[in-house]
Structure 1
C-alpha cells in the first residue's frame, strides 16, 4: 500500500514538474515573441485604414498632457463641481461625465487667451488625442455639442476629489495649462479634421486644410485647384514607434505620403539608408505616376510620426480631373497658352446668370498670349478698384519677371491700335472700341501700382506720354474713352510733374546708410536714381568718398573709385563684416550699399591684396552700454517710438522690391534699398538687445535689462509691431544671452512666463504655424515679421520653375504675387498712434531708438558673455 502511495506521489510530482516545465517554456516563448514584436518593423496601424477621430493617437499620454488634464479636472471640481456628475440619456446612466458644450463654455470663462469656441474645441481635443479625456462610448472626437466626455481619473469607481493642496496647485498652474493647450490646440484641431472621413468634412474644414497645404514644401509647385482637391481626400496617418516599415521596396505603390511630423529613412536593398526625409518632404509619388513597384523601403526614423496620405485612386482621379479641366491653345503645334477651368465662386452663383458659373485661369503661356488673355477678360463694367479686377494684379505685379517694360509698352501700343480683320463694320467698330477701353484700364492699373518707379524708366515715361496723346485724340471722337481720360490724365501728369520736380530729381544720401538718419521729419522712399556719398576703404584703412546712384552696379562703383584713386586696374570691391568675413562682389551686383551688414564696410583693392584686408577698429562697435540712458525711459515710450520708426521704414518699401529681392535685383538693375534697410533694422534691434546685456557687468542690472526688454517686446506686440517684437525675442534667445544662467535665475517667474509665451510664438515647426495663426487674427495696420515673408517668397521661387516647356509658369507668378500683396493689406489702414504718447522726453526717446549703436560680431558677443558668467565646471 505504502509502495503504491509512494509511486503515485512520485507520479504526481513528475506531472507537476512537467506542467511547471510546460508553463515555463510557454512563458519563455511568449517573452521571445514579445521581444521580437518590439523589434520587428511592422506597421502598428493597418495601412489604408484611417484613424477614427474618437481614437487616441498616442498609446501612453505624455506627462505634460496628463498633468494638464489633472489641473483642468481639479479646477472644474473646485469652481464648478456640478459639471462632473452622473447623467442619464436614453434610459442609460453615464457615470461622472461632462457635457461638451459646458466644457467649452467653462474654458472660455477661465482665460482671455481663448478667443473662440473653435479654439476651445481644439484645446479639449488635445486631451482627447492623448486619452486624458474620452467620449463615454469612444464614438466621437471632441465636439461643441450635447455629448458626454469623461476625464481619465473618473474612469475609476473611487476617483479621488482634489485635496486643498491640489486646489492651490491648480490655481497656480491653471493659466500656464491654458497657454500650453492654446498652443497645441490648432494642430489637434487640424488632426481632428484630417481624421474625419473625407465625406464628413465641412466647407470650413476644407478651407482649414487648404490653408495648411499652402505652407507644405512638397506641395508648393501644385496649382490652387489641385491643393483644393487634395484638401478633400487627404487622410491622416500616424505611427507610434520608430522602426516601423511604412512600405517595402518592390511592393505595389498604393499611396503618396507627405511628412507632417517626424522623419523617415529611405532604404534600398544592398545600399542601406540612402537619405533621410523630414517634415514637409514627400515620398511614394513616383510609383503612382509610373504605376511601378516601390523603388525603396520607408522606415520611421523616430517615434510618433504623422503623415498626410493620398491614396492611389484619389491621386489618379485628381490627375484626370486636372487634365479634363485644362484647355491648351496651340500655334504651329506648340502650346502657347494653358488655361484651367475653375469654379467662378459664390459671387457668380449669387447673381443668377449675370456671370458665368466657371472661369478660366492662366496656368502658363507665352508673355504675349498671357497679356492678350488678360486684355480679353477685363470686365469694363467693373470699377477700377473693384475686387474682380484683382485678376490683373498678378500680371501687373509680376510682368517684370517675364515681360519687361521694353516688351510690354510696345505690345500695349500695338493692342491699342489693333483692328479686327473679320466681321461687319459695326462689329469691327465695337471690337476696336472695347479693345481700346481694356488697354486703357490695364494701363491705369499698371501706372497706379508702379507709381514713382516709372520715373526711373525712360521707356515707360515715353510710352505714357505717347499713350496719353493717342487716347486724347481718340476721345474727341469716341465718347466712351472720354470717361477714362481724366483718370489717365491725372496719373500721367502726376508722374511727369514729380519726375521734373527739382527736389525729387536726385536726393543725396549721406555716408553709411544709418537707418536713423535724421535728415527729414518723415522718411521718404529711396529711389534708384538717388545718389549716395559713400566711403570706400583701402587696405591701409584710408578711404575715398564716392558719389554714385544708389542702384549703381559694382562696375560703376569700381569706375568711381578708380577716378578718385587715379588708377583702377585690377580693382575688386569687397564687403567686409565686423567679424572679418570677406565677400568679393560681382561686377553686375547692384545696390551694394544697402546690402551691407550693420557694421559692414566696402573695401577696394587689387585682387592680390584681398587676403591682407582687415576690419576697421570702428567696426567692432561700442565698448560701453547705454543702460544708463534708456533705463530712465519708459518701456512703453521706447516701444511706441520704435513702432513709429519701423512703420516709416515699412511704408517706404514698394511691393515690387519684394519681387526684385526674390528673383535677384541684378536681373532688373533695380534697387531694393528700402527693403534692405527694413530688413537691416530687424538685425539692428536683435543685436541691440544682445549688445546691451553683454556690455552690462552688474548682475542686478542685467536682470533689470531682461525685464526691460521683455516689457518692450510686450508693448511692441500690443502695437502690432511684430517685426520688432520678434527681433527682441530673438535677441533674448541669442546664445550669448540665453546661456547667462545666473541672470535668468534671478528673473521673476512672472517675466519668465511672459518670455515663454513669446518664445512659443517663434516656434518654427509646421512652417511657423503659431505666428501665422496669431497674424491671422490681427487687423491692419500691422508690421509683419518681414524675414518670414521673404522666406515664403523665396520658398515659392526656389520650389517652382519660372518657365516650363518654354512657357511662363504663371501659377508660380500668382503664388508670389499673393504673398507680396499681404504687404498691401497690412498697410491698408493708416497707423494712428496715440497722441498721448508725445510726452516731454519723447524727442530723446525718438533719437535714441533711431541711432542704435551695436556689436554685430557673434564671436565677440559670445566671448563677452563668457567673461560675464564663465562656464560652470
Structure 2
C-alpha cells in the first residue's frame, strides 16, 4: 500500500526516499527478474502505478498510442479484429513480466487490442518519457519488450525489421584489448607485483592446505586438458569457512579469496574468471611450474600459528576487493546486488554528498574502476580535452597549474576533472599521481553529460592549497536582445573568491572554445572589473601569466607554454573589443601593451604561430581601426551573442553614497569608482567631525541587515558598488564596531 502511495505521485514530486522505496520493492518482484537494474532504477522515476479490474480495455487496434506498459501481476489478452468484422480473435495472453506498447516510438497505430483478463497491476510510462528511456536503455529494453506487431503479423515487414534492428543494440566489447585490461577484466590482477602482506597470506594458506588437506591441490582434467596443481573454488570456500568462526558465510570467504586474486597471489587457470563459488579451477602463483613438496613440520607449525591473523587480515580487506571486482565488471553484467554494493559505497564518498539518491543510483551503473601502479604517472595534462570525471578511491594526486607549480593535493574521496566537462573546455591543470597503487572511480563524458551536467553546471568551484579560491553560482535570467526579443542569459554570482581567480577562470575556460549561447559572463566581467581590481593589477597578472616558463618535471612543454601565451593575447583582444573608447583612458594600458609587444617579438623566434596575434596587438597600439575590426570579426574563437552588451563601468565614473556614524548621523559623498577605502575614511572623517587627527583608529565597516559586519581594508576599491541590499556603511573607532547596528 505504501508503494502505491509513493508511486501515484507525479515523478517531479517524488523525493529521494520515495525513489528508494519504489526501487527496493520493484527489484524484489519476480516479474522483474529479467529487467536490468539500471532499467528498474529509471522506471522508478518515470512510471505510474495502475491497478485495473478484469475486462478493462487498455487500447484498441488502430488507436494512436500514448503509453507503454509493464505487467507487475495478472494477465492481459492480445486480440485482433475478427475477419468478419464482428468481435475479436484472441492471439495470446501476456503474463507478469511482459512489457508492450512500443509503437509509441514511431507514432504509429496500435497493432492489437489489449484487454485485462484478470485483476492487473501495471507500470505505465508516458510517450515522452518512454522515448527517453529507449534512448538510454536500448540494450536492456530489447530483451523485455513483447512486440505486438510480431505477434499479430500485421506490421509492414520493412518497418518491423527496422524496429528491432540488432545494430541498434550497443555491442559489448569482447576484443582482446578489453580482455587484457586489468581495470576492465576482474579476472586479472590490478597490481604488477603482489604486496608483502598478501604474498605472506597466500604462503600461509597454501602451507596449511598442503599440511591439512593436500588432496585439494592436484592436477585436474577438464575438456581433455590437464591443469596442473589447481584447486576447486567451491572446495576453497568450504575449507576457509571451517578454519575460523570469523568467516561466517560463503560470500565472505569469496571476498577473501578475491583479495588474493586481485593481487595475483592466486589466479584462475585460464584467467577468465574472477573468484566464484563454483566448480572452477584456481591455483596459487607459481604452482604451475613447480613440483608440490609437503611443507616441513617447522613450516606447518609456524603457518598454523599465523593462520588466525591471516584470516583476520583477509576478512578486513575482502569487502574492498569485492567492490573493486564489481567495478571492473562490464556494466551490463552488474546485478542488482552489485549495484546495491556500489550505491552503499557512494553514500560515503565525500565528493558525492550533495547528490540525490537517484543520481547516485544512476552513477552506480556507469562508474568505471581505474588503477595505476606507479607514482609520478601523468593522468592528464593542462590543455588536454576533457574526457572523464574522476573520484579518488585510494591514494592521492597532485594538481599542477602552468606557471604556479603544485597548487593542490587531492586525497581519497576528492574529485577532479569536472570543470572541463561542464564547460566543454580544455583541462585547466595537470594531474600527476602522488602515490603508488592509486585507484579511481571514473565517469565517461557521455554519462556525465546525461546524469550530472545539469546538476553540476550551476556551480563553479576552484581549489588551491586546500582552500576554495573561487565559488561562482550560475543563474538564468531573461535578457532583451538587440532584435527586441528576449533570450535566456546566464549570470554568475560570486559567492566567494578573489578577482585574480576569476581572471584565471575566464582565461582557461572562455578563450579556448566558443561561447555557450546566452552566456555573457566574460562580457560582464570585462565591463565591471574596475569594481574589483585596478588596471595596473590586471596588467601585472596578465604579464605574469604570459612570462611563466614550463616546468619539465611536471610534464609541461613548449606547446602548453604557447597555449598560455595565446590565451593572454586573446583576453586582451576581448578586453579591447568590449571596452573600445574606454580602453586607453588609463595611461598604464599603453605601457602594458608596449611591454607585451616586445615580449611577443622575442617569443616569435620560438613560436612563429604568434604572427597573427602580434599584428593585432600592433594594430591596437597604433589605433588601426580598419584592420582591427576586420580581423577581430574573423577570429575563429569569437562567437558573439545577440544580447546587448552591458554598459562599461569606468574608473572615472562617480558614485553617490552615504557614510554613517555610530549614532546614525551621516554624510553624503560623491567619489570616483576607483577611490580606495583610505581616502573615503579621510574625507568622511573630516565631514563627520570625527577624530581626523587619529585616522588610523577609524575603520570603514559595512553592517548588513542580518547583523553581519564586513571590515574593509584601506586598499579596497569600489566599496559603494559592493554594498548589500539594506546594508549601511559606517565609520567608527575600532573599539566601537561591535556596537554598530543597521536600522531598518
- TM category (shorter chain) comes to 0.3 to 0.5
TM-score by length of 2: 0.37
TM-score by structure 1 length? 0.31
**Structure with larger RCO (C-alpha < 8 A, sep 6+):** 1
Structure number having the greater strand percentage: 2
